[in-house]
Amino acid sequence: MTQFSEIPSDLKVYFNGGFIDWKDATVHVMTHALHYGSAVFEGIRCYKTPKGPAVFRLKEHVDRLFNSAKMYRMLPNLSREEFIKAILETIKINSFDECYVRPIIFRGTGAFGVNPLDNTIEYAICCWKWGKYLGEEALEKGVSVQVSSWNRIAPNTMPALAKCAANYANSQLMKMEAVKNGYTEGIALDVSGYVSEGSGENIFIVRGQTLITPPLGSSVLPGITRDTVIALARASGYEVIEGLIPREMLYIADEVFFTGTAAEITPIAFIDQIQIGEGRRGPVAKHLQENFFAVINLERKDTHGWLTFV
Ligand code: PPE
């Protein structure tokens, strides 16, 4: 969480094709997205590297954004390439050496009612510094989480593959329940009772030399960090399976960790107060974190072209 008071008020926001001041980046209370959740968004990190700021997997994020928009029939009137350019310009104009980037496409005003088709399709890009998502010590010590009493959205209710604002009503219920119960995060099961994902992260379990992560059919967001970790793990010789995970497999795993743009690779030390492995970051999570940050620090060759320099 970032408090608004921590965000410098002189930031510029890209809004519908031009830059405006942070304080002017507002919408009308009759905005469709506010009433009906009709917004799709992304979360992207721009990292400080020895050769200047670089955005991690920018193309994949913009592709997912446009895929989300396509599912909701709300493609904006600019191309993916133009959107990529606008993101880079937003980082540049705010002189960030590192930041979190939040692009959003939403239904605005023009008509009122559930039918969104007569509303404007608007877009904005904000950047600010977002620190460690699950706490300063999380990457090293791991976090304590619970299995949520809320299930992830069922197939064919709302598209889980879309990063739609509406999906985050479910995430909020999970997160509030976890925090109120004294945990850092919740893990949702899917509608069949198999492990799905966290409120804002994908999940992996480690058993021996094998990593298992829920398949896309378990109502998970197709995470870009998930994809990154799969590639890094395979390159290191681990077997990676996208397979159904029964809840109880969490408790007996050697390691469990979350992946996400904000969370990066965050080990899970306890689930429902049952210690996972040694109850701290395990060797596989550590190895993957080192590999991940080696790409960002330019210590490891970016063979996949994951970095776009600003
Ligand atoms: N599942 C969900 C539900 C999710 O929100 C995210 C990202 C992921 C998986 C991981 O996806 P990826 O970032 O592509 O590896 N959550 C974003 C928003 C978090 C927020 O609190 O807001 C993020 O990590 O930026």
Cβ of 260 closer than 6 Å to ligand 1, yes or no, is yes
Q: What gap in Å lies between CA 8 and CA 1, rounded to an integer?
A: 15
As a whole-number percent, the residues of the chain with pLDDT over 70 amount to: 100
156 domain-assigned: yes
Q: 142 and 265 share a domain? A: yes
Q: pLDDT tens for residues 47-104?
A: 999 999 999 999 999 999 999 999 999 999 999 999 999 999 999 999 999 999 999 9
pLDDT of residue 9: 83
Is the Cβ atom of 43 under 6 angstroms away from ligand 1? yes
Judge whether 61 and 42 are in contact, CB under 8 Å. yes
For residue 8, pLDDT over 90 is answered with no
Task: Examine residue 115 and state whether it is found in any structural domain, yes or no.
Answer: yes
Is 48 an active-site residue? no
Regarding whether 115 and 166 lie in a shared domain, the answer is no
Write down the pLDDT at residue 1.
85
Domain shared by 35 and 121, yes or no: yes
Residue 287 pLDDT more than 90?
yes
Average pLDDT score over the chain: 97
Give a yes or no: residue 13 inside a domain: yes
Q: Give me the catalytic one of 48, 92, 141, 163.
A: 163
Distance, CA of 17 to CA of 11 (rounded, Å): 16
Same domain, yes or no, for 25 and 168? no
Q: How far is the CA of 260 from the centre of ligand 1 (A)?
A: 5
Judgement on whether residues 269 and 246 belong to the same structural domain of the protein: yes
**What would the mean pLDDT of 221-240 be, rounded to a whole number?**
98
The CB of 264 under 6 Å from ligand 1? The reply is: no
Is the shortest distance between the CB of 57 and ligand 1 below 6 Å? no
Percent with pLDDT over 90 in the chain: 95
211 and 284 belong to one structural domain: yes
Whether 238 is covered by a domain: the verdict is yes
- Strand (E) positions, 69-120? 99-107
Same-domain status, 170 and 63: no
How confident is the model at residue 133, as a pLDDT? 86
User: Are both 36 and 144 inside the same structural domain?
Assistant: no
Mark out the alpha helices in 144-297 (DSSP H runs).
167-180, 224-235, 247-251, 283-296
**Is it the case that residue 132 has pLDDT exceeding 90?**
no
Predicted local distance difference test score (pLDDT) of residue 16: 97
Residues of the domain holding 153: 138-296
On whether both 124 and 144 belong to a single domain, the answer is: no
Could you tell me the distance, in angstroms and rounded to a whole number, from the CA of residue 41 to the centre of ligand 1? 10
How far is ligand 1, taken at its centre, from the CA of residue 221, in Å?
A: 8
Does 98 share its domain with 235? no
- Assess whether 180 and 149 both reside in one domain: yes
Confirm whether 274 is domain-assigned. yes
**CA–CA dist 211, 217 (Å, integer):** 18
Q: How many domains would you assign to the chain? A: 2
What predicted TM-score, i.e. pTM, was given to this entire model? 0.97
